[in-house]
Amino acid sequence: MSSSELISALRDAHKTHLTQQLQNPDHWQTLMSQASASLGDTPIGKLVDSESLSQVVEQWVVEANSAQGLQDVIVQTTEAVLQAAENDDATVGELLSEAHFEAVLEKSLQLKALREKAIHAGMNHPLVSEMVSEMLYTGIKNFLLEENALAKLPGVSSMMKIGRKSVVGKAMGGMEESIRGYLQKNIRETLRTGEQWLNKQLTNERIEQLARDGYRRVAPLKPADYLAQIPNGTVKDLVEQGCQIGDESARLDYTRRLISVGIKAAVDALCEKTLADILSGMQISEDKIREFTAPALAKGASILVEQGVLEPFITWSLDDFYESEACKKALESVNS
């Protein structure tokens, strides 16, 4: 057998062997076990170059200029998930247990300074100013008209007695601008009073009472009942807007800086941890991961073989060696 024939036979046998291995769950089990043994107690920080990883992600963000290509996939996926959620009988109480709710509430109550800032910002928003001003004006107008307050003024009551009730309406109309002007001029003081009242009322005890009462009301409710009220086309519109916002934010230096800092911080945090440490913290073992991962990988390889994708790839990767000068020289040295 010539060297070229031997090389061809070895390559074909290697391809067949590798193709069969990749479809065998036991092979994946062994492969993952060997990888785990090789890593041993090596901290992840020594296996990952944070700088290189950051550069790769940053370049990906820069070069992948649009999320539009995945828009249809995101829409279809989201709609399928929402459809399933609409048909699910799970309640809010099942999704957020009372114990978890209490833990979140406890942390929220510690944010008093943030709460006061939020109240201040809300009460000083122009929309709130306009709303409060309009509410006060409407209340004053209704009091004067519906409670006949103007009719009690000297001179007005006599007019009403002789059937001239329209005088009251006209008088109110003439006062409209002056009342609105007064309210607008003094609205800041009114809102400041409202802010002080809210801060005084929203004590931790009061918030606890309101929050627990709200939780007990919504705990038996089903998210499905509310999801069913989402208008058709909402998901598509939101995904379209989300993709556009994502495209714009990806081009910002601000985004890339945050990604870089985030990656470095993540690697630094993992620097002294081993894979075993992380899995232990996640309350799962390597054996358990291999148990459900190996069959899935083997099944995936079988599908790739059925679709005619895996074998050409294996052939290409093996040809890189079997057609190389290094392989030919190795065989020649053996034959000689």
pLDDT in tens, 180-199: 788 878 888 888 898 899 88
Instruction: Name the DSSP class of 110.
Output: T
Q: What percent of the chain has pLDDT over 70?
A: 90
**Domain residue ranges in the chain:** 3-88+232-335, 94-221
| Concatenated DSSP letters of 234-273 | HHHHHHHHHHHHHHHHHT-HHHHHHHHHHHHHHHHHHTT-
Q: What is the mean pLDDT of residues 129-155?
A: 72
| Cα–Cα distance measured from residue 4 to residue 14, given in angstroms and rounded to the nearest whole number | 15
CB 83 within 8 A of CB 230: no
| Confidence class for position 307, pLDDT limits 50, 70, 90 | very high
Mean pLDDT score of the chain: 85
Asked if residue 157 has pLDDT above 60, the reply is no
| Confidence class for position 46, pLDDT limits 50, 70, 90 | confident
| Cα–Cα distance measured from residue 86 to residue 76, given in angstroms and rounded to the nearest whole number | 15
Q: What percent of the chain has pLDDT over 90?
A: 36
Name the packing angle between helices 25-39 and 286-306 (round to 10°). Answer: 130
| Cα–Cα distance measured from residue 157 to residue 150, given in angstroms and rounded to the nearest whole number | 8
Closest Cα partner for 282 from 291, 274, 293?
A: 274
Query: What region does 150 belong to: left with phi over 0, alpha with psi -120 to 50, or beta?
Result: alpha
Spatial neighbors of 24 by CB under 8 A, at least 6 apart, are 298
Looking at residue 270, its pLDDT comes to 81
Give tens-digit pLDDT for 49-76: 878 877 887 778 777 767 778 889 999 9
The pTM of this model reads 0.63
| Cα–Cα distance measured from residue 29 to residue 291, given in angstroms and rounded to the nearest whole number | 8
Go through 119-146 and write b for each residue having 16 or more CB atoms within 10 A of its CB, e for each that does not.
Answer: beeebeeeeebeebbeebbeebeeebee
| Confidence class for position 163, pLDDT limits 50, 70, 90 | very low
Asked if residue 332 has pLDDT above 90, the reply is no
Give tens-digit pLDDT for 198-224: 888 888 899 999 999 999 999 999 999
3-class secondary-structure state, position 213: helix
| Cα–Cα distance measured from residue 194 to residue 200, given in angstroms and rounded to the nearest whole number | 10
| Cα–Cα distance measured from residue 217 to residue 131, given in angstroms and rounded to the nearest whole number | 29
Looking at residue 169, its pLDDT comes to 54
